[in-house]
Amino acid sequence: MMPALQLSMPSTETQGKPTWRVRYWLTWPVWNHDDQRLRAPLRALLPLILTFLALAVIQTAVRARFEHPIRELLELSGLIVVLSGGLLVATRLLDRRPAVDYGLSFDRDWWKAVAVGCVTGLAVNAGALVVSLQTGWVSVTGFAEAPGVLPFVPAVIITFAYIAVAAIWEEFIFRATMLKNLAEGGAGYVGRKPAVLLAVLLSTLIFATLHGGKVTHISQYGYYVISGLVLGSVYVLSGDLALPISFHVFYNFSQGFLGLGVSQVTPELVVLEIVGSDIWIGEQGLVHVIFALLGGLLLLAYIRLRDGQLQIDERVTQWNPLTEQ
């Protein structure tokens, strides 16, 4: 159940004044007067819009003035600043909730789940590599190679950090702020379960759409839709960001590290020549789709083992006001 709010409201005398009533109805579409914060759709979309614009400004400025490897280091620093600023703005100004409400508890169980997500993300791409080698869709042409001027190990460290921060940003935006706020806002209108389902679907569609830069055929959006559904489902069933963040980070990183990231120019432990059809072995190919689904099933199995059941976590539609902390 939602906690009882202890928020000050205008006196009965003030509420009766015409000017207050006009102000109330003018602001009602965007402002929740009971909770004293923005409406759920704005809380869901503003973090994406604000951080996306900030990242675009930083990348445009950095890429116009700097070359590799300084460019990547500055972009990484910018990503960290934007992510930190986005979390601060969301918690203090937009959502008015503590960071732990998003699923960032950082306790022992949280870090245990992180370890499970990391291993699962690495394992599914290792499985995809084995299948690709066994079918002859790829052939090994080298080992431990890095593009650019940096040696292999420093290049791996910088690449991992960049991918990790980018994946954490995506999980914070699409799952923690967007999905959670859409579910929370919709629960009072359509019921808790339908609201969560709609929130997963809507956040997934936006997630897939914003990956359109990697898509060359409309069918390839299916890969990102499935990825969004997997990550969204894991979030609502686990109630925190530990599994989505860790799986997302290590899945993205290991895909390039094991030579399977077609669109990525990153250090590769195994250098591959892809000779199979894009339908099967392309970055959005069926091999990756199948193994992404397998990864999702493994994460759900872990949640079932840990919690004893699979059901929507009550925290997904809960709001604990920051003023009560």
Q: Mean pLDDT: which of 1-5, 48-52, 282-286 is highest?
A: 48-52
End-to-end CA separation in angstroms for the chain: 17
pLDDT at 35: 84
**296, two tokens:** 């999702």
Question: What value does the mean pLDDT take over residues 256-265?
Answer: 80
Taking the C-alpha atoms of residue 106 and residue 217, their distance in angstroms, rounded to an integer, is 40
Taking the C-alpha atoms of residue 63 and residue 170, their distance in angstroms, rounded to an integer, is 21
- pLDDT surpasses 90 at 252: yes
Taking the C-alpha atoms of residue 240 and residue 245, their distance in angstroms, rounded to an integer, is 9
**232, two tokens:** 């969204």
Mean pLDDT of the chain: 89
Nearest to 128 by CA among 274, 13, 305: 274
Using DSSP's 3-state secondary structure scheme, residue 79 falls into: helix
- pLDDT surpasses 90 at 230: yes
* pLDDT (tens digit per residue) in 68-125: 889 989 999 999 999 999 999 999 999 999 999 999 999 999 999 999 999 999 999 9
Spell out the residues 6+ positions from residue 156 whose beta carbon is closer than 8 angstroms to its own: 146, 257, 267
pLDDT at 20: 67
Nearest to 160 by CA among 85, 267, 71: 267
- pLDDT surpasses 70 at 324: no
Reported confidence tier of residue 9, pLDDT bands at 50, 70, 90: low
- pLDDT surpasses 80 at 138: yes
Reported confidence tier of residue 8, pLDDT bands at 50, 70, 90: very low
144 phi, psi to nearest 5 deg: 50, 65
pLDDT at 263: 59
- pLDDT surpasses 60 at 14: no
Q: Give me the percent of the chain exceeding a pLDDT of 90.
A: 71
pLDDT at 274: 86
- pLDDT surpasses 50 at 1: no
pLDDT at 155: 93
Reported confidence tier of residue 325, pLDDT bands at 50, 70, 90: very low
Using DSSP's 3-state secondary structure scheme, residue 268 falls into: strand
Around 287, how many Cα atoms within 13 Å sit in the side-chain half-sphere? 26
- Contact criterion met (CB below 8 Å) for 87 and 169: no
120 phi, psi to nearest 5 deg: -65, -45
- CA torsion angle 26 95 51 77 (round to 10): 150
The angle, 0 to 180 degrees and rounded to 10, between the axes of the packed helices 221-238 and 242-257 is 150
Largest CA distance in the chain: 79
* pLDDT (tens digit per residue) in 171-195: 999 999 999 999 999 998 999 999 9
Question: What value does the mean pLDDT take over residues 202-222?
Answer: 88
Higher pLDDT, 259 or 8: 259
Among the residues of the chain, which ranges form H helices? 12-15, 18-27, 40-65, 70-89, 108-135, 152-170, 180-190, 192-209, 221-238, 242-257, 278-281, 286-307
- Contact criterion met (CB below 8 Å) for 282 and 216: no
